[in-house]
């Protein structure tokens, strides 16, 4: 599950760089921002699930 967390976090960071830094000045900026938040939420969700699963005996 940790590789998924890292993957979602990297995708969120890259999407954030393109969406919030102004590198992409087209209509796709809104799409990149949505992708950023979706993958950021997925990264946090998988991180929480990882620690919940790991703490059980």
Q: What pLDDT score was predicted for residue 38?
A: 87
Q: How far apart are CA 57 and CA 40, in angstroms?
A: 28
Cα 48 → chain centroid: 14
Residues in the chain: 57
Contact 19, 32 (CB under 8 A): yes
Question: What pLDDT is attached to residue 6?
Answer: 82
Structural domain that includes position 22: 2-55
* pLDDT category of residue 35 using cuts at 50, 70 and 90: confident
For the chain, what is the domain count?
A: 1
> In the numeric block, which tokens belong to residue 7?
């993957």
Q: Can you give the pLDDT at residue 57?
A: 60
In tens, the pLDDT along 3-27 reads 877 887 888 788 777 666 666 566 6
pTM value surpassing 0.75: no
User: According to the model, what pLDDT value does residue 8 have?
Assistant: 79
- 8/19 Cα distance (integer angstroms): 16
């Amino acid at each position: 599950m940790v590789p998924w967390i890292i993957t979602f976090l990297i995708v969120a960071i890259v999407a954030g760089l393109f969406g919030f830094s102004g590198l992409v000045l087209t209509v796709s900026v809104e799409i990149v921002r949505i992708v950023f938040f979706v993958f950021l939420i997925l990264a946090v969700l998988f991180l929480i699930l990882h620690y919940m699963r790991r703490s059980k005996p």
